[in-house]
Structure 1
Amino acid sequence: MARPIWSGILSFGLVSVPVSLYAATENHTVAFRQIQRGTSDRIRNKRVNERTGEEVAFGDIVKGFELAEGEYVVVEPDELDRISPGRSKTIEITGFVDLDQVEPIYFDTTYYLGPKGKEYAKVYTLLQRALEQANRAGIAMFSMRGKEYLTAVRSENGILTAHTMHFADEVRDPRSEIHTLPAADSDTAAVSDRELAMAEQLIDMLAVDWNPDDYHDTFEEKVHELIAAKQAGQEVTAPEAAPSPSNVLDLMDILGRSLENAKTGSGSAAKPDEAAAAAEAGAKSAAAKAKSRTARAGSKAAAAGRASAGHRPKDTGAKKSTSTRARPATSATGKKTSTAGSRRKEDLSELTKAELYKKATAADLPHRSTMTRDQLQHALETTGHGRHLRSAS
């Protein structure tokens, strides 16, 4: 069982709950020790005086802030200790922000928060469920190990998590840091509608549901294989060559072959003529759909404009139908699925999130692991237990 790295009080308003902080991730990087080549002698690092070359005791080392070359302001360890924020005894939430407004770049390290005892389960669950329903995170300043952190407390997968965050001045502006970024109106970055349609089609064909278990550290595995091979006296093979950059002059051909490979599920290059034909057909289809959507949007906007100006459609005298027949929906596999009009919907309002998640898994709802309880219920009710697309937050 994991040991907490911090314990204290989590508070919001007049509500407080004793909690413990746990590391949410662990590092599996293979550890090496430095030894001298040809021997088993370990190498030790020593603190030495740069001018004299003599070793310096740890107690004789102080910190210095360089003002100019060779000129320092000396700061003693106890002077830093006096102004250090120390260790917080409380994570005091001062406000709640909408998670959709927080860009991922601001999140740094994730920790788990657990109640310090079973007697605090109700207060803990109250905050967890309230944050989940509101899709918000509590913001607090938190000190640990001599450093102050901006911290976000949020609900994830039925528990509370704490994320240390970067301050605004720690996030670099990419436009000032990367001088090779293309400008929006640059001729070199101009993309045709056909190229964009083909790229979007390729993305759609390669779309998958997020499952973290599908991915693993291949470099770590290769390191272990290398160690095992050298231990057994086997020859070590050379690594595969990195792929060469795509030639922008052949971008259409590359997109066409990529689409063909995605269709066949193979990694080999397809015939250029066949790939180009398939890609062109897909691009035309995507462009036609986009044009149709634009036309429909224009018609709706025009109708809305006429309605707002006081124009009403003429009454033809025909009786309006008072009943509608629900048409069976068609799934991605081509099979017809029952809809709300063909059978009575199951009442999902009394089910727990775990029960809704089980139904979402059976219905193969994509992105279900990122949904709140209400979003799961809405997805199941809206689609009749079918598919529901949602962008991951």
Structure 2
Amino acid sequence: MARMIWKGAISFGLVHVPVQLFPATQSEHIGFNLLDKRTVDPVGYKQINKRTGKEVKREDIVRGYEYEKGKYVVLSDEEIRAANPEATQTVDILAFVDAPEVSFFYLETPYFLAPDRKGEKVYALLREAMKSSGKIGIAQVVMHNKQHLAALIAVGPALVLNTLRRADEVRSSDEFKLPPEGVRASGLSTRELDMAKKLIDDMSEKWNPAEYHDTFHDDILALVDKKIRAGKTEEVDVQAVRAERPKSAEILDLSDLLRRSLGRGKSRADRRSANDDRHDDEHDDEEAPAPARKTPARRRRAAG
């Protein structure tokens, strides 16, 4: 069960919806410790003066805001705390907007909101009204001593609070040299467009996030397990666990590449089904393999 990180209420107009806030995501990052290669001892973290190269004691470190290159205003912890927004216990809805108006560029971190203190009915009322209207709420909320802009979104049976990046945190595409919009302006032919659309149709399938894996995470765990099985803490042939990377295609003729791609562009589900059929035909007479044994690293991760 996720740990509750905030309790308060959604406020719009005179209506208050008591809610509890829970994280909607979890991290699966590979973490590395810094070690002394001579002894494999953990290496600690030191604060170093970048000009002198000498270590600085923690009590001599202050916070500074760089207002010009190399020039700082020093702020005490008390001053920073006093400048922080006042902690409130409400998700204050400022406006309702059409959902497609908020670009995915602005979406940051999602959180689940669950009803609290017998607030189920008014929670459901707000959720169903938002679904019927096709609107999402733009709100302000203070979490962890920081004010956030956020979107309140009805997703299935839940109300989700998704923190938003502010306008000055999202770069404009004007910074980049991009081809002009439009088929004719981009120099594309109708035939090329039709083939590209056909390829997209052939590769289309229902979104299932469980089918997509962090291959780097899996490769690192495979390397760790190989070292454990070998009883080594020294070098192991990394090439043995590294998947072959497909080479980038050199674009010579766009139409020809599209034409060749169409033959290979069936959906992942179709490709899996075809591979399964071939696998069954090849191994009808073979004994089914035993279930894979959990590797040491995975056992430790599951236990943790």
| Counterpart residue identity of residue 174, structure 1 | S
**By how many angstroms is 1:246 displaced?**
3.1
State yes or no: 1:169 paired with 2:172: no
Which residue number corresponds to residue 150 of structure 1?
149
Q: Give the letter for the 1:106 counterpart.
A: Y
With over 3 angstroms needed to count, the CA separation of the structure-2 counterparts of 1:202 and 1:32, relative to structure 1, is same
Name the counterpart of 1:18: 18
Structure with the higher fraction of residues in strand conformation: 2
TM-score, structure 1 as length reference = 0.62
- Is contact 1:86–1:144 with CA below 8 Å preserved after alignment? no
Amino acid at match of 2:246: P
- Is 1:252 equivalent to 2:255 in the alignment? yes
Tell me if structure 1 keeps the 8 A contact 2:219–2:241.
no
Higher helix share: 1
Q: Find the counterpart in structure 2 of residue 94 from structure 1.
A: 94
- Residue in structure 2 matched with residue 239 of structure 1 by the alignment: 242
Q: What residue number does 1:62 align with?
A: 62
Aligned to 2:276: none
In structure 2, C-alpha distance between the alignment counterparts of 1:70 and 1:262, rounded to whole Å: 54
Count matched residues: 264
Q: Is the 8 A contact 2:251 2:257 kept in 1?
A: no
Give the Cα–Cα distance (whole angstroms) in 2 for the partners of residues 140 and 263 of structure 1.
Answer: 42
Aligned pair in 2 of structure 1 residues 71, 29: CA closer, same or farther (>3 Å)? closer
SS of the residue 2:50 aligns to: coil
In terms of Rg, which structure is larger? 1
Q: Aligned AA for 1:46? A: K
**Gap regions ≥5 residues in structure 2:** 231-235, 273-304
Matched, 1:198 2:195: yes
- Aligned equivalents of 2:19 and 2:185: distance in 1? 54
Distance in 2 (CA, whole Å) between partners of 1:96 and 1:186 is 35
Q: Does 1:85 align with 2:91?
A: no
Which ranges in structure 1 are unaligned for 5 or more consecutive residues? 268-393
Shift of 1:185: 8.1
Work out the CA distance in 2 between the residues paired with 1:68 and 1:10.
40
Q: 1:129 and 1:231 mapped to 2: Cα distance? A: 53
Distance 1:162 1:108 in 2: 10
User: Higher RCO, 1 or 2 (CA under 8 Å, sep at least 6)?
Assistant: 2
1:214-293 paired onto structure 2 within 5 Å: 214-233=211-230, 235-236=237-238, 237=240, 239-262=242-265
Greater Cα shift, 247-256 or 139-148: 247-256
How far does residue 255 in structure 1 lie from its aligned partner after superposition? 1.5
Asked whether the equivalents of residues 131 and 155 of structure 1 are also in contact (C-alpha less than 8 Å), the reply is yes
Secondary structure of the 1:64 match is strand
Note the C-alpha offset of 1:24. Answer: 0.3
Give the TM-score normalised by structure 2: 0.79
| Matched residue, 1:324 | none
Contact 1:9 1:16 in 2 (8 A): yes
Structure 2 CA distance, aligned partners of 1:259 and 1:72? 58
Describe the SS at the equivalent of 1:196: helix
Is contact 2:203–2:266 with CA below 8 Å preserved after alignment?
no
Deviation at 1:28, TM superposition (A): 0.9
Q: Deviations over 1:193-224 (max 9, x none)?
A: 21111111111111111122222222211111
Deviation by residue 1:76-116 (Cα, 9 ceiling, x = unmatched): 12111111114222111122111022111111110000112
Report the alpha carbon displacement of residue 250 of structure 1 after superposing the two structures with TM: 2.8
Moved more, 248-257 or 219-228: 248-257
Worse-superposed segment, 138-147 or 153-162: 138-147
